[in-house]
Amino acid sequence: MDAMMKAKQPAWVAVANPFVGIVGVLLGARLRRPPTIV
């Protein structure tokens, strides 16, 4: 329990997290929608 209270995430995780979320949203939207055939 004490280790959880003292844990700190690395700085790169805080920077990369929003980008990982954006990529996940874009991939999820692409998977849900069937590709349009022209």
Q: Where are the domains of the chain?
A: 1-31
Q: Quick: pLDDT tens for 8-38.
A: 889 999 999 999 999 999 999 888 766 667 7
pLDDT on residue 35: 65
Instruction: Tell me the CB-side half-sphere exposure of residue 17, using CA atoms within 13 A.
Output: 7
Place of tokens 């003292």: 6
pLDDT number for residue 1: 78
SS3 11: helix
Distance spanning both ends of the chain, measured CA to CA:
57
